[in-house]
Amino acid sequence: MPKWASRLTLTLVLVLALGLRFYRLDAQSLWSDEGNSARLAERSLPLITVAAAADIHPPLYYYLLHFWAQALGTSELALRALSALAGLALVALVFLIGQALFGRRVGLIAAALAAVNPFQVYYSQEARMYMLAAMLGTASTFCFVRWLKERETERGGYGWAAATALLTAAGLYTHYAYPLIPAAQTVAVLIWLWEWRDGRARTALVWAGILAAALALYLPWLPIAYRQLTTWPSARLPVTSLEAALVALHLLVLGQTLPTENHTFSLALVLWLGLSLGLFQFARRPLPVARRLFPLALVLAWLIVPLAFVLLAGLFQGPFLKFLLIASPPLCLLIGVGMMGWARLEGAPSGHRSISAPSLTPRRVVGGLAALLVLAWLTYDTATSLRNLYFDPAYARDDYRGIAADIRALQREGDGIILNAPNQWEVFTYYYRDGLPVYPVARDRPLDEAAEARELNDILARHRRLFALYWGDRESDPQRFVERWLSTHAYPAQDVWRGNVRFVIYGVPAQAQAENPTPLGMRFGPHIRLESYSLASRRLRPGDVLALTLTWATDAPLADRVKVFVHLYDAGEHILAQHDSEPGAGLQPTTTWAPGEAIRDHHGVLIPIEAAPGTYRLAIGLYRPDGSRLTLEDGADRLFLGGVTIEGEP
């Protein structure tokens, strides 16, 4: 390929990479960890250092983001642009490594694969340190390759060696998983030393010096890193199954924005056959053994060491799978080698002429068609994954921006906000600075339930409505104490998911307003009885929460889970507002009821702001998962509980 053609191709690849990484960069809300980045970047460098020392991430990314935000601002676009540019630099570095190890064509193919890789694009659009760590690892590997290339020619390469040490130290200050990169490079050095007999001792000594220099630069942070890594709480389960490895492979190639069910095994089969053939073709080229083994050893170690660590160290779980990002560049290189091997057009390492293409043969035609088939398949699934990333709400990040907007639209004097878990504070206050009191709860681990109950009781005494955000409470509140307490002392009126965040609105009526329970003894279906009900008030204003308490019982164990509906009807039998939930805000499903047990069930109905004054009828009922309702003894499928008057303005 002429130089002008390869330069034009590389330019187009980089433009594509830039476009994919900046496209809709600020379309989604920051999520919790990104909010932490945004708020840390606002602090001074000493305060960032103190905060990072208490966190599970070292400080370099936050330092860079601090200066970046000072120059460009703190919008979502500005904060994420740092990662987007790091992702672009990674694509260029993949080309340089591919060209140095396997030839220009492989470098271009690998760069193109990295440019559109959904896994890389996803983290290039996140204001976190993962893409910076992957880029530094790729830059370090490029300098490492250049150093060994110059060692082959006995020119020393000490400048490249120094750059490798500096980049390694920078990587260590960026992410605690970064040592996997020098570990993989050490494997490659051992292969190089095994094959190259001249200058072994000097090369080994220089490599030891590189590692020692990087470690020396990292020494001030090393005690902190050791403390955090050995004390940070996390549940770990080592995984050795083939299925887990295939899921990891799917993640590396197609990202987390494409379901694995129909893709993982076909992906593994195609890549395995393709890589095997491609690597075989590369290994049989007429080159010195070291020039065949070292490139493959480096790229394979770069891929396998992080993958094996994540699987065997018990980190094959959602929060840790992003650690595999550092293994994405070598997989792009291996796929590039494989595709060139299929077509038998692989390039040669730097310093050797590429093997010229022989005349067309049936074998060459079949290989070329196979390469095109795999390319078409990868293109389709990659495009689908990217489309999901940009447009499918199922893959959107947690929508704190939308929650804050909803609260601003609904808020009034007397409202409060609860954050469970408390580490939502940074991202929520990035979007919400509008004046309502914000209470982070469940701050202590393990949770002190008595102290938490006292705090919640104090909060309820000060507010008539509460907006609650539940996120990460499996770690901070695994028994769901806060939610259980609120469901029995307040009235949940709205419960929606915004990504992985639950947004719940509670009504907190004044106890003096509550009417006495009305006994009923009405039977729904063969076993469930509504023993009584009570309303906190039958006179409400728009924006209030109707507070209804139902007391249920059963005379036999129940096999089916049913939901309660509470409807408020206007004169035309249109539903003005409603609340649907399993009993106890989903915490007391009917399958857990014991015969004769009294089940107190709180339901809130949020009266719309636009509700017209007038009298509305209140009705309740039960329905099964298929939507069919349980009937009363007279055949009715709902029970009316009298009228509710809405009056005045909000």
What integer pLDDT is reported at residue 348 of this predicted model?
A: 42
Tokens encoding 608: 């719309």
* Maximal C-alpha separation, the chain: 97
**What are the helix (H) ranges across 313-441?**
328-343, 362-391, 400-410, 425-431
How large is the average pLDDT for residues 200-218? 95
Instruction: Specify the pLDDT at position 196.
Output: 72
Distance in Å from the first CA to the final CA of the chain:
72
Residues 565-612: tens digit of each pLDDT: 999 999 999 999 999 999 999 999 999 999 999 999 999 999 999 999
pLDDT confidence of residue 434: 78
Q: Of 421, 414, 419, whose CA–CA distance to 404 is shortest? A: 419
- Give CATH for domain 513-646: 2.60.40.770
Q: What is the mean pLDDT of residues 39-59?
A: 95
Look at residue 269 and tell me whether its pLDDT is greater than 60.
Answer: no
pLDDT at 346 over 60: no
Sign of CA dihedral 111, 115, 117, 121: positive
pLDDT for 272:
59
- What is the DSSP track for 249-261? HHHHHH-SSS-ST
Tokens of 603: 């339901």
CATH code for residues 400-507? 3.30.110
Q: Do domains 400-507 and 513-646 have the same CATH topology?
A: no
| 88-135 pLDDT, tens digit each | 999 999 999 999 998 999 999 999 999 999 999 999 999 999 999 999
**Average pLDDT for the chain:** 89
The whole-angstrom separation of Cα 291 and Cα 392 is 45
Please say if the pLDDT value at position 345 is more than 50: no
Where do the domains of the chain lie? 3-227+240-395, 400-507, 513-646
pTM: 0.89
Both tokens of 495, joined, read 């419960």
- Tokens 């949770």 label which residue? 447
- Beta-sheet pairing, 415-420 with 438-440: parallel
The pLDDT confidence band at residue 363, using thresholds 50, 70 and 90, is low
The reported pLDDT for the residue numbered 292 is 62
Q: Please answer whether residues 399 and 408 qualify as being in contact, where contact means their C-beta atoms are separated by less than 8 angstroms.
A: no
User: SS3 for 333?
Assistant: helix
Q: Which is it for the CA torsion 48, 53, 59, 62, positive or negative? A: negative
Report how far residue 420's alpha carbon sits from residue 610's, in angstroms, rounded to the nearest whole number: 30
**pLDDT band for position 355 (cuts 50, 70, 90):** very low
In this predicted model, what pLDDT tens digit does every residue of 67-101 receive, in sequence order?
Answer: 999 999 999 999 999 999 999 999 999 999 999 99
Task: Say yes or no to pLDDT of 290 above 70.
Answer: no
